[in-house]
Amino acid sequence: MWLLSLAVMVAVATRYWAELSSLGRCALHAALRLCRGKACVRSTHAFVFVNCTHGKAQSVLETFDLYARAHPSLAIGREKGEYVEEVVRRVAPNQALELGTHCGYSSIRILRALPPSGRLLTVEKDLVTADAGEEIILVAGFKNTQFQVLTSPSVEAITHLHSHLGDKLVELVLMDHDVQQYLPDLMLLESRGLLATGCVLLANNVQLSGARSFLDYIRSQPGRYCINNLTQGLLELNWCP
């Protein structure tokens, strides 16, 4: 009898827990969806534009971080942002590619860590977001000679990337857009021969279930991809074919 009621309690608790955690996941996804929307872009942009010191990248980043303390935000955040900068300084790429500009936070992190000869191409499929991101990157003090925002879906941007690269290849990629796109985009970058040997790839949010096929692909080819690091869902790997 005692055992039976214990079993019932465990069953109820398990069920309840599953529902609770799925509720939590729904709420998180709803918040992210909300933040993906244009309202979030506009309010992030307005907050940063009004409250930062124009021309100072450090102030722009701090104002983003301040915003993220009180609002849902999709910016990569200070901790991962600093890590991205560290990687960019180490790799010192002449050509960096970012997929998912959002409001420009990680673009600014990349740009200020690039060597003087370095350029950034950053891809954003949403027109309003791309405009907001570009304006904030300019506010941070970077010039159109250092970066270009390509407004199109990532597959389309990668298909036409060679026309923006000239004879350069991509030496660093940050993927921070739709995780479902990570695998097709990586395969396209590979098949078009756009990646330099030793290219470093940073992929954000790989803990999301949508990134599973991407991770399986990477793990199935240990001879071509070396995983260097994985912290807080940010994966760093080397492409060494």
Ligand X SMILES: *[C@@H]1O[C@H](CO)[C@@H](O)[C@H](O)[C@H]1NC(C)=O
Q: Which positions lie near ligand X, rule CB under 6 A?
A: 46-47, 50-51
Among candidate residues 122, 193, 108, 118, the one with its CA nearest the CA of residue 152: 122
Q: In the complex with ligand X, which residue's Cβ is closer, 36 or 42?
A: 42
Q: In the complex with ligand X, which residue's Cβ is closer, 1 or 70?
A: 70
Q: How far is the CB of 52 from ligand X (least distance, A)?
A: 9
Rg of the chain in Å (alpha carbons):
20
Residue 53 buriedness (CB in 10 A; 0-12 / 13-18 / 19+): middle
- Name 122's bridge partners: 98, 149
Six token digits for residue 218: 């990477």
Spell out where the chain has E strands. Answer: 95-99, 119-124, 147-151, 170-175, 195-203, 225-231, 234-239
**Residue 169 · residue 195 · CB < 8 Å:** yes
Q: How far is the CB of 102 from ligand X (least distance, A)?
A: 17
Q: How far is the CB of 43 from ligand X (least distance, A)?
A: 7
Q: In the complex with ligand X, which residue's Cβ is closer, 4 or 50?
A: 50
Q: In the complex with ligand X, which residue's Cβ is closer, 83 or 105?
A: 105
Q: In the complex with ligand X, which residue's Cβ is closer, 1 or 50?
A: 50
Q: How far is the CB of 51 from ligand X (least distance, A)?
A: 4
Instruction: Please give the residue whose beta carbon sits closest to ligand X in the complex.
Output: 47
Q: How far is the CB of 45 from ligand X (least distance, A)?
A: 9
**Residue 133 · residue 103 · CB < 8 Å:** yes
